[in-house]
Amino acid sequence: MNIVVEFFVVTFKVLWAFVLAAARWLVRPKEKSVAGQVCLITGAGSGLGRLFALEFARRRALLVLWDINTQSNEETAGMVRHIYRDLEAADAAALQAGNGEEEILPHCNLQVFTYTCDVGKRENVYLTAERVRKEVGEVSVLVNNAGVVSGHHLLECPDELIERTMMVNCHAHFWTTKAFLPTMLEINHGHIVTVASSLGLFSTAGVEDYCASKFGVVGFHESLSHELKAAEKDGIKTTLVCPYLVDTGMFRGCRIRKEIEPFLPPLKPDYCVKQAMKAILTDQPMICTPRLMYMVTFMKSIPFEAVVCMYRFLGADKCMYPFIAQRKQATNNNEAKNGI
């Protein structure tokens, strides 16, 4: 193709992509079905991971839950089974009432499987993934959600905690994706969800390890998305989830300027997950919550000193300091309690 003609074709495709993106904001696309598909969620024992599990359960997905905490993971599984029982009862009632025109999945397909897995350990991930393939089947939807935060200033943070943050928040995405992507490629079907953070798009003081891990996983996700497009594997979708501060307790104590806080409060976990689910089920490539977070990408194009001035005005420059102080106090109290 002549390069001039190709240029105009590409220009048209770029403009058309903008039109489609604008249309998504005005007209909500139809959500796809994940009923009967195997959905694996890491960090499913609490927080956003638990809420993702409940949302996928309501949509009749077959769930595989990974967490390092066996007890909390089983608690999530119990909640999922309760949802499955309600769905089964509703199906039975619909059939009895003669409203069974729509396809109803048999109860045997509504199952939840739990695995205790430390995603920060590569071999643990690969061994557990092999168990999943043998005991459950191939994974169609992979939600990489597990995350940790050290809560220390850089020079006070033990090297082991820095490594742990990078392993769980970033490296684990490599291991899980390498474990389950090959089959997705074979059948050209699947969905990989990366739960990152707004701190993977912009940074703040005091959480160098956390920001580095989230920046890293955003880069991983974007590169993976490009690789799938280059391979013309359009049946495999990817969604990057970048929420603002979520009120899960992970960053308890984090505060911005009190006059600004009412306009930018921490996100409710339920709201965050519901917005993410809308993006996942409509194959949206990226979701920032709230929408104001989309603007932070433009901050990279303005002078650093201007960004610093904005941070100071918002109280975002030291917003993590109260959180770090609380973590330090809690650590000191535990050491005193244990006689260390």
Using only the alpha carbons of the chain, give its radius of gyration.
Answer: 22
CB 300 within 8 A of CB 185: no
CB 41 within 8 A of CB 63: yes
Tokens of 225: 């998305």
CB 35 within 8 A of CB 105: yes
Is residue 311 annotated as part of the catalytic site, yes or no?
no
Q: Which of 84, 115, 126, 210 is catalytic?
A: 210
Catalytic residue IDs: 210
